[in-house]
Amino acid sequence: QQFTTYRTEDGLNSNSIISMAEGSSGEIYIGNYEEGINVLKNGKIENFHSEFNGRRIRVAYLHLDSSDTEDTKLYAYTGQTALYVFPEKKSGNKPYTLDFKPHYLIKVENLPTGEKVALTTGGLFIIRNDSIVRLQISGLNDTTAYCLSSAYDSSYYIGAKEMIYKIKHGKVIRRYKVNLFNDDNKVVKILCDRNDNIWFSIMNKGFFYIATGSDKIIDIGSKMGLGTTLVNNYLEDSEGNIWLSTYGKGVFCLYNLYLKSYSENDGLSSNSIQSLIKAGTTKLLIGTFNGLNVLENGVFNQVEINSQNPSTDYIYNIKEFDDEFYVCVSLGSNEIINTTYKGLNLYMFTYLSFCKTDAGLYLFGTILNTIATQKEMSNWMIPFSISTVFGDSLINNRVNEIVEDSEHNIWIATGLGLCRASLFLNEAGKTELKKSFFPEYPVLNAGINAILQDKAHNVWFAGKKGIAKYNIKHDSVVSYTSVSGHDFSASTSLASDSKNRIWIGNMKGLYLLEYNSVKYLNQQTGLPSNEVLSLFYDSTNNSLLIGTSNGMSILDVDNFDQYQAVAPKVIITEVKAGDSTYTNYNNLIFKPEQHDISIDFQAIHFSSPGSVTYMYRLDNNWLTTDFSSLNFISLKNGTYNLQIMAKAQNTLWSKPYVLSFRVLPRFIETIWFYLLMIFLLLTTGPSILMLSLKLNKIKANKELALTERINELKHQALSAMMNPHFIANSLNSVQYLVNSRKYEDANNYIAMMAKLMRKNLDTAGKGFIRLSDEIDRLKLYLDIEKLRFQESFTYEIIIGVELDTNTVLIPNMIIQPFVENSLWHGIINSGNSGLLTVAFTFENVDIDSVIGRSLIIRVTDNGIGINEARKHKKEDHISKGIQIIEERLRLLSTKMNLTQPIVFEDLSGTDPDAHGTEVIISLPPPLYKVTNHSSDPSTTVTV
């Protein structure tokens, strides 16, 4: 936090400063206790006045009188008999003194008329120019006046010894006797607030309160732990909060003064208030977790209950019928206690709820899903009938409330939901309930805690899932789970005031529902607790009695309605951009590198400080936030107008605070950059275009050559598969079979050869074929070779479990040359009976650090092995076919940016006892495809 300090070396007469005042032109007058007056003007300390008639001026108070704009005066005094009067401008009138001898000057104040009045030990004096005139007040003698406070009706209050006077039009119109202590009752400070309540202090005795229209003095200081503290000043702010400063204990703020709260510290037997009701004109009956209390004339007393409950006298409910009070309490027996307390007739019994009908029946609610009915009140509870509410069984279901409406419907609130009933007599003369329920309404089909009928023929219900109302005339139900974002679940109690507004007690606070608008009070706004357990409206005093889990409150409805919650004002506390922090928020301009901007702000609301929320807009949309800071990352260049609004509990949104700032563009965002780009494009564009066309042509030529080579290899592969040696040998075998008169074998041999050649010709133009077709072709080829070599080898084809050969496509003409190579150079040369295995499986393979599923084809034989075969192997059509397939797969891999797919392995290299060769062909996507059964593989891949 930045600050400036001024000391004697800067020009002050003394470092002991006791008073200050602001001049008419913004200068600051500084009162030194024994060294006169300095003035701070244009950043420079000057001596204003330090002597008067050769004597040092001692200053305890400074007061500026600007009522005469042409002759503004500065008053300085110390509590002695003289008042120093200095013209604010040194030119012109000379300073002078006003002498109040033999009286001592205590304070200079303003009257409601604007006149200056001096409060002295000998009464009040009007200060007019360079003279003083005693203020004549009818009904007030020349008593010592210690303090003055103006009211809002042109009257004012004077604090004196043992008395407060209210004065209007020159006469005392009211007196308040202040006789609280034996030794000292001087009223040394006083404030009349906007509601005409009086706040006053007694020297070192705390502070006190007199409500408007009352003579009763309430000791608030003692309740706040300030009973022996000097409260030396009061201030009422724009929200109506009362601020008070103390000597040694800091500053206090009293807010939401329409609420008065009481707790165990004030005499309650328990802070848990379960039920409240007005008794007569002066008494309040308060049912608590620990007995029945009576509040009368500000004093709590507890009604003695002779119960058999060893733990506590828990009050469930209190009802009033015909000036008699019925108290539901945990007595521990079936006894009905009838007692009186200061003229109140009380009945006490062990039930949860109670109702007396217009027909004179007494209804009692139990914890076991029943209503007990009794025709008269006696010393013992002997019901003549018991009726179940939900179903016909005794179950754990509390009956929380029983109410009879104006149409004689009996409403029963239970833990399982709401029941509407009517009473009738059965054949045995017992009462029964004709019941109806509300399963179609979730609010009424869950736990209900309270029932209330208002003046508009609506019956209201409060419960676990919200509130609801039933209109008696229209037989209609309206439910409210929330209104204007306020959640009504966990509602406990109801009350209706003189305006027929509905007050709702809830475990989250207190709500006032008026049409479709809601006001909300909770612990932040002055309630003792958020958990409101009970409500009662006192129509005589127009007040709401509020029972909570931490004490009770009395809400003055008139004051509450008059209270205008002021929206909090937004102020900016800090702006950061990059590494810079700004304190002046006018015409902010940020450099191009300062595109990350942080803005801290605040909106103080003393009445509910924790309820402030914010709304801001940087472009077109308003956004809400609970945080008092905003961070904008990488803002584009341009001019911005950030608007921020604040809202507290029960207030409207404040006027937007507008923070304007500009983010300068980077060079690449300026018009100069675009002009440079246009220039470069015009000068170098044609060359770049020509180069691009040339490179594209080279690339196209390479791709064309690659495609042509692949097509050429396809035809060579077909030729390899149709090699003349194989055909000639096959024809020789056919001739042998014919000469040997094995005509059927010869026919089969010719048929297989024809089928194989037809398959090769049918698939010759296709880039990819189904794996099932390739396997069929391999089987034909191997069966033909088995006939030629007279069963000198066997073969097996293995297909993985998860592999569907009808949907997998592989490149055409890639397997047969490897099978033929294994057969001719591996198995036939070994001279032993051979085994040839072709296996197809899916495996996860690491390709460039990425795990992918590849189709693995393994061609394995138990022949002489690749190393031995190479020693006497000559270039033939088989080797040529393998080279063609290797080159074709290599070109496909290159075109698709894949790794090389073929690996040859001599099995003797891994196991000395093994022999043979294994060829592994790895086909990662997209060297194999998966398609539907109905798809044509010839159109699936265009390679």
Q: Which of 254, 275, 303 is the last residue of a domain?
A: 254
In a domain? residue 435: yes
Contact predicate 777/756, CB 8 Å: yes
Q: Which of 666, 683, 699 is the last residue of a domain?
A: 666
Residue range 865-901, pLDDT digits in tens? 888 877 765 555 556 667 777 776 666 666 555 566 7
Same-domain pairing of 328 and 415 = yes
The pLDDT of residue 138: 94
- Whole-angstrom distance, CA of residue 88 vs CA of residue 506: 60
Note the Cα 834 to chain centre separation in Å. 77
Query: Mean pLDDT throughout 917-923?
Result: 89
The first and second tokens of residue 753, run together, are 């050869």
pTM: 0.60
Same-domain pairing of 301 and 399 = yes
CA atoms within 13 A on the CB side of 320: 13
Same-domain pairing of 239 and 356 = no
Q: How long is the chain?
A: 943
Residue range 124-152, pLDDT digits in tens? 999 987 889 999 999 998 899 999 999 98
In a domain? residue 682: no
End-to-end CA distance of the chain: 74
In a domain? residue 790: yes
Same-domain pairing of 351 and 497 = yes
Alpha-carbon torsion 773, 779, 780, 782, what sign? positive
In a domain? residue 906: yes
CATH classification at residue 482: 2.130.10.10
Helix 771-788 to helix 724-739 angle (10° resolution) is: 50
Contact predicate 268/315, CB 8 Å: no
The pLDDT of residue 710: 54
In sequence order, the 6+-apart residues with CB closer than 8 A to the CB of 348 are: 305, 327, 329, 331, 336, 337, 338, 339
Residue range 373-421, pLDDT digits in tens? 988 887 777 777 889 999 989 999 999 999 999 999 999 999 999 999 9
The share of the chain scoring above pLDDT 90, in percent, equals: 41
Same-domain pairing of 212 and 331 = no
Q: What percent of the chain is helix, strand and coil (3-state, nearest 5)?
A: 20, 40, 40
- Return the closest-CA partner of residue 243 out of 191, 256, 251: 251
Same-domain pairing of 188 and 282 = no
The pLDDT of residue 721: 47
In a domain? residue 205: yes
Same-domain pairing of 305 and 223 = no
The pLDDT of residue 826: 83
The pLDDT of residue 718: 46
Phi, psi of 53 (to 5 degrees): 55, 40
The pLDDT of residue 878: 54
Same-domain pairing of 490 and 579 = no
- Whole-angstrom distance, CA of residue 132 vs CA of residue 142: 15
In a domain? residue 643: yes
Query: Mean pLDDT throughout 904-923?
Result: 84
Residues spanned by the domain of 858: 734-940
CATH classification at residue 901: 3.30.565.10
CATH classification at residue 201: 2.40.10
Going by their DSSP bridges, the two strands 324-329 and 344-349 should be labelled as parallel
In a domain? residue 143: no
Query: Mean pLDDT throughout 349-353?
Result: 93
Same-domain pairing of 48 and 152 = no
Phi, psi of 212 (to 5 degrees): -55, 135
- Whole-angstrom distance, CA of residue 409 vs CA of residue 569: 52
As a whole number, the mean pLDDT across the chain is 85
The pLDDT of residue 726: 66
- Return the closest-CA partner of residue 482 out of 470, 496, 495, 466: 466
The pairs formed by 340-349 with CB atoms below 8 angstroms and a separation of 24 or more are: 341/294, 341/303, 342/283, 342/294, 342/296, 343/280, 344/279, 344/280, 344/283, 344/285, 346/303, 347/377, 348/305, 349/381
Residue range 541-566, pLDDT digits in tens? 999 999 999 999 999 999 888 877 77
* Coil, helix or strand at residue 256: coil
- Whole-angstrom distance, CA of residue 905 vs CA of residue 867: 9
Top mean-pLDDT range of 514-518, 839-843, 935-939: 839-843
Secondary element (H or E) of residue 711: helix 671-721
The number of folded domains in the chain is 5
Q: Which carries the bigger pLDDT value, residue 930 or residue 718?
A: 930
Same-domain pairing of 57 and 158 = no
| DSSP 8-state symbol, 824 | I
Q: Which of 506, 541, 562 is the last residue of a domain?
A: 562
Contact predicate 769/763, CB 8 Å: yes
Residue range 455-483, pLDDT digits in tens? 999 999 999 999 999 999 999 999 999 99
Same-domain pairing of 578 and 471 = no
Q: Which carries the bigger pLDDT value, residue 902 or residue 858?
A: 858
Same-domain pairing of 652 and 624 = yes
In a domain? residue 284: yes
